[in-house]
Structure 1
């Protein structure tokens, strides 16, 4: 795919990208070092969420089990509606009333899973998600850093395996993945989309951002409203566009900033145009 060469013009030291098709997980194109490890930042959250959803299907706990502040549940934490602050274990709103993007909420999720399963969160994620998908270069260092983002490291090649799983699930029931990625949890809630400001509504699934009608956005102007995924402060993103039947991963080693807000949407639009053509 010629559009992937656009990353050569990004003002970053290193970048890698790939596009993978949904139904069969076929690699449609790649550019840059596919096996280079990059810090994921918040692209770690979908990986952590997937481990939590596996735990739900395995009966470790239920989505509506209490977790976090009083009245909050596992579901609230996944959907950033627990009321916890961004990076503090401080309650700022009643559960289910505001979309408060919260790293602290994912810390609580990891602690909840660890206590309920008796298995350290990083080990659970590795055994439940990374190893079955062959993601051998993906690691979570939650002993020293947060499962919300700072502890995640991976490669484009590994994240393409995860993107293929999101489009044709093998580890989870497809209905669970659909609920997490295609159905808005607590519809109508407003909140801040990091890097882009207040959005009303600020649609989110369970661990995955849903694009909806947000504009401007880190995906493309032609991305379908059903597009879901996540971006990270370390200059990384993963999106799945069901209308296009494909997913795209891009990893860099420059922190998110105006450069990304400028280059990422035009890159995504070019990728989608090439897929449609």
Structure 2
């Protein structure tokens, strides 16, 4: 795909990108797609998928208590638990604000480890990474489920294919994960300011009508995914029937704000 070659013009030392169709076939790839990069917050969708596997296995319920008083697993996945961004400190009642929280995902990891008796990194490996053949992906050591994953583009397109045609989860569970939780909730999208509403599913950001945004102007409102502060992103556009993964080795900043949306529009235009 010619559009993927645009990463060669980005102000980054290294980048890799690939696009996968809804039927699981690779539409194109560019750069060192087998190179491992830090994921930063793109770790969260992988962690969320492991939580959903635990739910389907009966180890937990989405509406059982977890985190601060009054909070549930669902609140934690949807960033509405009230926990602060990077502190285990309550800043608002559960369900009232979309407070993007690394701490919330760390609580999720602790909760899954407690109810399954398996350290979260190992549960993630057994439940998601190994079944999908994501051998280059890991949450190493006692890393945070919010941000300490490492992966390669080759693995992430396997995950993007799973999101479009689930094998590990019931499609109804995946559909719920991509449905807005606590509709109308306002909040700050890191790097892009206050959004009203700030739509989010179960561990996946939903584009909705947000402006500005890291996806493209032509991305459908149903587009879901995540980006990371390490200069990484993963999105799936159900209306276009494609998913895209991009990893770089330069931290997110104005450069990414400037080039990511046009890149996504180019991918969608070429496939359309």
**Shared fold (TM-score, shorter chain, > 0.5):** yes
- The equivalent position to 2:210 in structure 1, one of 208, 214, 217, is 214
Q: What residue number does 1:57 align with?
A: 56
Report deviation, 1:141.
2.2
Q: 1:234 to 1:228 in 2, by over 3 A?
A: same
**Count of matched residue positions in the alignment of Structure 1 and Structure 2:** 272
Report deviation, 1:213.
0.2
Q: What residue number does 1:2 align with?
A: 2
Q: What residue number does 1:81 align with?
A: 80
Q: What residue number does 1:146 align with?
A: 144
Q: Does residue 101 in structure 1 map to residue 100 in structure 2?
A: yes
- The equivalent position to 2:153 in structure 1, one of 149, 153, 156, is 156
- The equivalent position to 1:239 in structure 2, one of 235, 238, 251, is 235
CA distance in structure 2 between the aligned counterparts of 1:119 and 1:130, rounded to whole angstroms = 15
Q: What residue number does 1:25 align with?
A: 24
CA RMSD of superposed structures (Å):
0.5
Q: Does residue 274 in structure 1 map to residue 257 in structure 2?
A: no
- Residues 97-154 of structure 1, C-alpha deviations (whole Å, 9 max, x = no match): 00000000000000000000000000000000000000000000251x31101x1000
Q: Does residue 71 in structure 1 map to residue 67 in structure 2?
A: no
CA distance in structure 2 between the aligned counterparts of 1:248 and 1:214, rounded to whole angstroms = 19
Q: What residue number does 2:13 align with?
A: 13
Structure 1, unpaired ranges of 5+: none
**TM-score, scaled to structure 1:** 0.98
Q: Does residue 194 in structure 1 map to residue 186 in structure 2?
A: no
Q: What residue number does 2:251 align with?
A: 255
CA distance in structure 1 between the aligned counterparts of 2:18 and 2:204, rounded to whole angstroms = 20
Q: 1:62 to 1:142 in 2, by over 3 A?
A: farther
CA distance in structure 2 between the aligned counterparts of 1:89 and 1:250, rounded to whole angstroms = 31
**Conserved 8 A contact 1:86-1:104:** yes
Q: Matched residue of 2:217: which SS?
A: coil
- Residues 45-81 of structure 1, C-alpha deviations (whole Å, 9 max, x = no match): 0000000000000000100110000000000000000
CA distance in structure 2 between the aligned counterparts of 1:233 and 1:34, rounded to whole angstroms = 19
Structure 2, unpaired ranges of 5+: none
Q: Matched residue of 2:42: which SS?
A: helix
- The equivalent position to 1:168 in structure 2, one of 165, 168, 171, is 165
Q: Matched residue of 2:130: which SS?
A: helix
The 4+ residue runs of structure 1 with deviation greater than 6 A are none
